[in-house]
Amino acid sequence: MKLQCDVEVVNRMLPTFGMKSRGKGTRAVLSIGKHLDKTTQRSNIYLMICTAKDRAGSKYKLKGNIEKFFTWFVEEGKATVRLKEPAVDICLSKADSNSLKNFLSAARLADRGSDTSSLPLSTLTPVRARDVEQPKKKLAIVSKKDYPLTSNFPHSLEQLQVSYCKLSRVDMRMLSLKALRKLDLSNNHIKKLPATIGDLSCLSELILHNNHLEAFSEALCLSTLQRTLQHLDLSQNRLQTLPAQFCQLRELVNLKLDDNALLCLPFHIGRLSKLRFLSAAHNQLTVLPGDFRKLSLENLDLFGNPFIQPNPLDHKMQLTFPLPLQELASRAVANLRIPYGPHLIPAHLCRDLKIAKTCDCGRICISFYIKTAVSMNLHQVSHTVVLVDDMGGTDAPVEQHFCSLSCFSEFLDNSLQRGTR
């Protein structure tokens, strides 16, 4: 029975001499096995602790020698074994919780003097240097010849960069790295992202710059990335749209979408309330969604998009008279904030309500409205704005929806009055 973890052996007599322990563990390999006691010439069960400084290991007798187990935090990979002789506490941390539980069970059996045939014993021999190295947290692979084909990635990795390796898909071995916080797969040939990236529950930074991505799936938007992802780089890919669910990634602080083929930004982009840095330069954006007004950014770059010249008279009429009953009912649900869900109304109506538009008057419209574009100075939503065009402009067109003819007429009157001043 072996266990890899951090270990600190604390002498309980230290406080008597006015001394304190370091309070910091050292990477070690713990083994439980038989050892011949030279004084009694009898084999006993010992616990051996090997570290980088003591690869030969220190041995501690187990039978009848454990005073107490402290296992309150065993689920976090922490435990303490208190020995009677010598008077030390063996503090274990950063262990795999399941492996730790099995190891402690074996130690209990050894302490009770159970039949050794029932114990998973190891040979008490010195360990190799690599077995007691500190777990690797960062790894960068920037050449195809350095890519591991036969060995796994270190399970302790928190930051992984794999660039310029001509990967056409995400290696599933990466998706087992549960401690991963940053994954950089830039400058490859990846066409599709597996939904299981969303199972990386600690991932806060995902860099996919310069790949061949054509979509960012709804499943990723609805995964645990909703709670963890803060930095997302999708620049230099082949994206034309982003799903409506993209705005569920509400922890996003930095979003890079440059050099794609995006025709529009997500309808509810204003729900990304923590977003501070947005770049979507060199796409095919002609107008910004109305929700764009709700953003509060520090830096915004929309250079090189073919924005239209907004004209309030150039509008799209999508109204019928009278309004259909479904539209009236949907508006009532949205305006009165009546709870709804697929268990109450058909799923397609739920989808319609999720992309409801807000009229200039503050009321909601769903599928029937008048749409036009108005000019907005981007400094209204961002402290720093990269120029929108070569002419030095910082204005861009933003969609405006109206729930009725009267609201649209009032808007036109106000626009004409401003134009004559």
Do 98 and 43 share a structural domain? yes
403 lies in some domain: yes
- State in Å, rounded, how far the first CA of the chain is from the last one: 86
Do 184 and 66 share a structural domain? no
Give the per-residue pLDDT at 41. Answer: 66
Going by C-alpha positions, the residue among 373, 334, 371 that lies closest to residue 352 is: 334
Going by C-alpha positions, the residue among 120, 151, 95, 97 that lies closest to residue 45 is: 120
Q: Which residue has the tokens 């009165």?
A: 336
Number of H helices, E strands in the chain: 6, 21
Give the per-residue pLDDT at 346. Answer: 87
Do 248 and 142 share a structural domain? yes
Do 268 and 142 share a structural domain? yes
Q: What is the mean pLDDT of residues 350-365?
A: 87
38 lies in some domain: yes
The residue out of 264, 284, 304 marking a domain boundary is: 284
Give the per-residue pLDDT at 320. Answer: 86
The rounded percent of the chain whose pLDDT value lies above 70 is: 94
Q: What is the mean pLDDT of residues 227-250?
A: 95
Question: Domain tally for the chain?
Answer: 3
Give the per-residue pLDDT at 278. Answer: 96
DSSP class of 282 = S
Give the per-residue pLDDT at 114. Answer: 75
Q: What is the mean pLDDT of residues 300-325?
A: 88
224 lies in some domain: yes
How confident is the model over 200-224, as pLDDT tens digits? 999 999 999 999 999 999 999 999 9
Give the per-residue pLDDT at 342. Answer: 87
How confident is the model over 133-160, as pLDDT tens digits? 667 889 999 998 888 887 788 888 999 9
**pLDDT above 90 (res 286):** yes
**pLDDT above 90 (res 37):** no
Rg of the chain over Cα atoms, rounded to whole angstroms, equals 31
Do 368 and 330 share a structural domain? yes
Amino acid occupying residue 320: T
Give the per-residue pLDDT at 17. Answer: 59
Do 20 and 76 share a structural domain? yes
Say if strands 66-70 and 297-301 run parallel, antiparallel, or are unpaired.
unpaired
Question: Per-residue confidence at 378, pLDDT binned at 50, 70, 90?
Answer: very high
Do 154 and 51 share a structural domain? no
How confident is the model over 12-33, as pLDDT tens digits? 887 765 656 666 788 888 888 8
Please calculate the CA angle 311-381-267 and round it to the nearest 5 degrees: 65
What are the tokens at 265?
């930004």
Output the domain CATH number for residue 57.
2.30.29.30
The rounded percent of the chain whose pLDDT value lies above 90 is: 50
322 lies in some domain: yes
Cα 368 from chain centre: 37
Scanning 281-368, the segments in alpha helix (DSSP H) are 325-335, 347-354
The residue out of 284, 304, 337 marking a domain boundary is: 284
Range of the domain at 260: 138-284
Give the per-residue pLDDT at 205. Answer: 96
**pLDDT above 90 (res 36):** no
Do 342 and 357 share a structural domain? yes
Give the per-residue pLDDT at 358. Answer: 87
DSSP assignment of 78-127, as one string? -EEEEESSS-EEEEEES--HHHHHHHHHHHHHHHHT--GGGS------PP
Q: Which helix (H) or strand (E) holds 220?
A: helix 218-221
Chain mean pLDDT for the chain? 88
Give the per-residue pLDDT at 16. Answer: 65
Do 165 and 30 share a structural domain? no
51 lies in some domain: yes
The residue out of 98, 131, 164 marking a domain boundary is: 131
8 A C-beta contact, residue 152 and residue 174: no
Going by C-alpha positions, the residue among 107, 101, 98, 105 that lies closest to residue 47 is: 107
How confident is the model over 79-108, as pLDDT tens digits? 999 999 999 999 999 888 899 999 999 999
Cα 248 from chain centre: 13
Do 211 and 270 share a structural domain? yes
Q: What is the mean pLDDT of residues 352-366?
A: 87
Please calculate the CA angle 334-310-303 and round it to the nearest 5 degrees: 100
What are the tokens at 296?
């509060």
Output the domain CATH number for residue 279.
3.80.10.10
Going by C-alpha positions, the residue among 165, 57, 65, 162 that lies closest to residue 107 is: 65
Do 270 and 150 share a structural domain? yes
114 lies in some domain: yes
202 lies in some domain: yes
314 or 417, which is more confident? 314
Give the per-residue pLDDT at 65. Answer: 92
Give the per-residue pLDDT at 316. Answer: 87
Do 127 and 41 share a structural domain? yes
